A and B are shown apart, each in its own frame.
Chain A
């Protein structure tokens, strides 16, 4: 392990040097592309240079699209055979992301690679070309509750970076980068710090088994009318991994087409619809319960840690001001016999 100090200009040269071998992704600002006019959209995208790296604001969409795109073709078919599509670009990718998102992708790894005896090949081939460069995160954004979810720290990165004004510090854990990082900078002693407290704290339920009455508890009813099923909490979430499959036929063919998987989410209408018109969770409150239990209860029972990483994006993007972190606290209070308000 080694550490280096740079001026921003020097580090921009390191960045440019890395781009000769890797495509570099990070949070990027798209001016005027926000939901409201004259607002910006921040999402993960290839960075043309260091200047495009957005550090001032949280991205509204997570980096999960790098391993789990919103729409992915899983096979092409005709009347007698099918074939798996190649990745258009299969180069190595460096992604600059914060500890919560690194932990978020670790949760996706559980779902796609270790859940059952078959690793998901589509996820795997994208995942194995990723290299994590951690953006040191010492201060929370609005709605973050990573500390409560224990996802504020990680050692799952090859390089850690501190951006402080005109200075950049790097901790290089992976030897493959040592030469390149050593060339432009001076030896330093940087070791990343992690955010140690958020304004928003959540108290997680401590029950081993969720009491049956919680499944039909009236605390979920308020979400029947509050939630509008827009699905933003699902699409913005780094750990939401649900998808639907759809088939499409090429315009002038009745035999050739492709099957795709596209993001779906438990809050969206139609998610739990089945043949015959059955639907498991018609009410929005039931969907909120399902999501909450999945994020902070039943995932833990299966994998030993909670699914939610406390990035707070669901709270950031909800147009109806539904706070997931507040919902978790409400659940914990209710379980302890307190108020469900």
Chain B
């Protein structure tokens, strides 16, 4: 009996067409890339029971279990239910029928660096933020990549995403507590932008050059530098890999709060809905922005957004990248 599948339904259910005929692979979401050991064991059991015992750690920090016969999809979905409950529903994600597997696959897994649960450099709990954003953006069918990194070092490569969220801090200086040891100025000049300079026996921070990494806070032996209360983010937009025009995401908003970040991403979904080319199977958001222009994107995604007082907004954006048409420059040497 030959298989009769609705490919679109299958794909939306997070199963994919694979090279091997009649076999699929399931993609398991792990928002923030963080899970516990018993959840890993559960994923391992699915691979052993329905696949061939192999599994792949995806570039977006999820899991992909290959070599599952298509006819096992319903059973796999049933086995996924506890994972969907623990990794999605418990974090506030609304899924109508969790027994039927994942309801959407367009919105890719939100990846995150390990964040401040472990890393001393991170400015926030990236895992928790990933789980909160998941509750706002998932399920959704538009192809969207979001990643969160705990500091501007960007270990998660937020610069390659449609939305790259960088957790930053706003350093505050206690003049009287500063002993002029130069530790912050040296750290900033060697590792970052040189926003902090010595001024006699004290330091001054050029607020415009500060990227909020927190190196000064980490370096200060007297706690003269501390982080301003609250959580702040730099939001990079429209980076991408791809076959046409790979490019880095660029800062769109800086020193904004979580509410702004979340609202802008949610607004983008409506923007995409309005402008996406429906003749294509999918279209990266960045190409839509290329078509509408930055100003249209900016005005639409900022609708109803109340920027916090510290926020900075990009006047314009030029994305650095290259067009693969330039491959005409590559010549053989033999």
Please state if B116 and A38 are interface contacts (CB–CB under 8 Å). yes
User: Do A33 and B179 form a contact, CB below 8 Å, given A38-B125, A260-B201, A262-B201?
Assistant: no
A38 to B229, CA, bound (A): 9
A236 to B221, CA, bound (A): 8
Chain B, Cβ-Cβ closest to A231: B221
A41 to B214, CA, bound (A): 15
Chain A residues in 8 Å Cβ range of B175: 71
- B144 an interface residue at 8 Å Cβ cutoff? no
Please state if A33 and B122 are interface contacts (CB–CB under 8 Å). no
User: Interface size class for chain B?
Assistant: 20 to 34
- B299 an interface residue at 8 Å Cβ cutoff? no
- A291 an interface residue at 8 Å Cβ cutoff? no
Chain B, Cβ-Cβ closest to A243: B179
Q: In whole Å, how far is B47's beta carbon from the nearest beta carbon of chain A?
A: 35
- B313 an interface residue at 8 Å Cβ cutoff? no
A263 to B176, CA, bound (A): 11
Chain A, Cβ-Cβ closest to B201: A246
Chain B, Cβ-Cβ closest to A257: B200
Q: In whole Å, how far is B209's beta carbon from the nearest beta carbon of chain A?
A: 21
Q: B176, B180, B201, B226: which contacts A30 (Cβ < 8 A)?
A: B226
B interface footprint on A100-122 (CB within 8 Å = 1, 0 otherwise): 00000000000000000000000
Q: In whole Å, how far is B283's beta carbon from the nearest beta carbon of chain A?
A: 37
- B10 an interface residue at 8 Å Cβ cutoff? no
Q: In whole Å, how far is B148's beta carbon from the nearest beta carbon of chain A?
A: 14
Q: In whole Å, how far is A323's beta carbon from the nearest beta carbon of chain B?
A: 18
> Which residues from 165 to 209 on chain B have a C-beta closer than 8 Å to any C-beta of chain A?
167, 169, 175-183, 200-201
A87 to B298, CA, bound (A): 54
Chain B residues in 8 Å Cβ range of A69: 176
B interface footprint on A215-259 (CB within 8 Å = 1, 0 otherwise): 000000000000000111011100000000010100000000000
Q: How many residues of A contact B (CB 8 A)?
A: 30
A30 to B177, CA, bound (A): 15
Please state if A35 and B223 are interface contacts (CB–CB under 8 Å). yes
Please state if A37 and B214 are interface contacts (CB–CB under 8 Å). yes
Please state if A37 and B124 are interface contacts (CB–CB under 8 Å). yes
Chain A, Cβ-Cβ closest to B229: A32
Please state if A231 and B181 are interface contacts (CB–CB under 8 Å). yes
Please state if A263 and B223 are interface contacts (CB–CB under 8 Å). no
- B131 an interface residue at 8 Å Cβ cutoff? no
A230 to B186, CA, bound (A): 12
- B219 an interface residue at 8 Å Cβ cutoff? yes
Chain A residues in 8 Å Cβ range of B223: 33, 35, 41, 43, 60-61
Please state if A230 and B201 are interface contacts (CB–CB under 8 Å). no
A43 to B227, CA, bound (A): 16
Please state if A31 and B229 are interface contacts (CB–CB under 8 Å). yes
B interface footprint on A166-185 (CB within 8 Å = 1, 0 otherwise): 00000000000000000000
- B120 an interface residue at 8 Å Cβ cutoff? yes
User: Do A70 and B179 form a contact, CB below 8 Å, given A32-B229, A37-B116, A262-B201?
Assistant: yes
A236 to B223, CA, bound (A): 10
Chain A residues in 8 Å Cβ range of B179: 70-71, 235, 262-264
Chain B residues in 8 Å Cβ range of A234: 221
B interface footprint on A284-325 (CB within 8 Å = 1, 0 otherwise): 000000000000000000000000000000000000000000
Q: B217, B218, B221: which contacts A235 (Cβ < 8 A)?
A: B221
Chain A residues in 8 Å Cβ range of B167: 37
Please state if B217 and A246 are interface contacts (CB–CB under 8 Å). no
User: Do A36 and B177 form a contact, CB below 8 Å, given A230-B219, A246-B200?
Assistant: no
- B18 an interface residue at 8 Å Cβ cutoff? no
- B123 an interface residue at 8 Å Cβ cutoff? yes
User: Do A71 and B177 form a contact, CB below 8 Å, given A31-B229, A35-B218?
Assistant: yes
Please state if B180 and A37 are interface contacts (CB–CB under 8 Å). no
Chain B residues in 8 Å Cβ range of A235: 179, 221-222
Q: B176, B180, B229: which contacts A246 (Cβ < 8 A)?
A: B180
Chain B, Cβ-Cβ closest to A61: B223
**30 sample A-B contacts, Cβ–Cβ < 8 Å, listed by A number:** A32-B227, A33-B227, A34-B226, A35-B217, A35-B218, A35-B223, A37-B116, A37-B123, A37-B167, A37-B214, A37-B227, A38-B124, A41-B226, A60-B223, A61-B223, A70-B178, A70-B224, A71-B177, A230-B219, A230-B221, A231-B181, A231-B183, A231-B221, A234-B221, A235-B179, A235-B222, A246-B180, A246-B201, A262-B201, A268-B181
Residues of A with Cβ closer than 8 Å to B? 30-38, 41, 43, 60-61, 69-71, 230-232, 234-236, 246, 248, 260, 262-264, 268-269
Excluding A33-B223, A36-B116, A268-B181, 10 further A-B contacts by CB distance (< 8 Å) are A31-B229, A35-B218, A36-B120, A37-B116, A37-B122, A41-B223, A70-B224, A71-B179, A230-B183, A230-B221
When A and B form their complex, which 3 residue pairs have the shortest distance between CB atoms, in order from nearest?
Answer: A246-B201, A33-B226, A231-B221
